Amino acid sequence: MSNQRVSTRIYTTPESEEAKMKHFDQDNIIDTPIDGINYHTFSEFQKSVDQRKGQMRGGVHLKLYYPNLRGSKPYWTSTGMLFKIIEFKKGIVPNIKPGYTGYIALLQRIA
């Protein structure tokens, strides 16, 4: 199995969702209905390597991955949810690890 990076994936954890729910007064991204919006954070690394602004301009579909909380493998599990970036700006969300914030994106769920 490869550890190759897939730039069309987004990841989050319960801890990150808790911080975002408090900061933005929003629901957990897992509860976002189709056509609903949710804020999500990205790092400088993700902005550069995954080309998040280009993905926004191109309407690229991003698949959400969430930890398998039952402890079985694989750790990261696809939720089957797809989002697109509709806004992208510099910003930090408190209580999210520094390597996972620096930019804030407004995501729209598309599937």
State pLDDT tens for residues 14-58: 999 999 999 999 999 999 999 999 999 999 999 999 999 999 999
Q: How many domains does the chain have?
A: 1
Comparing CA positions, the residue from 30, 88, 35 lying closest to residue 64 is: 30
Q: What pTM was estimated for this model as a whole?
A: 0.92
- Asked if residue 40 is part of any domain, the answer here is yes
State pLDDT tens for residues 52-103: 999 999 999 999 999 987 777 778 999 999 999 999 999 999 999 989 999 9
Range of the domain at 56: 9-109
- Asked if residue 75 is part of any domain, the answer here is yes
- Asked if residue 17 is part of any domain, the answer here is yes
Burial of 96 (0-12, 13-18, 19+ CB in 10 A): buried
- Asked if residue 72 is part of any domain, the answer here is yes
CATH number at residue 40: 2.30.130
- Inter-residue contact 8 to 61 (CB < 8 Å): yes
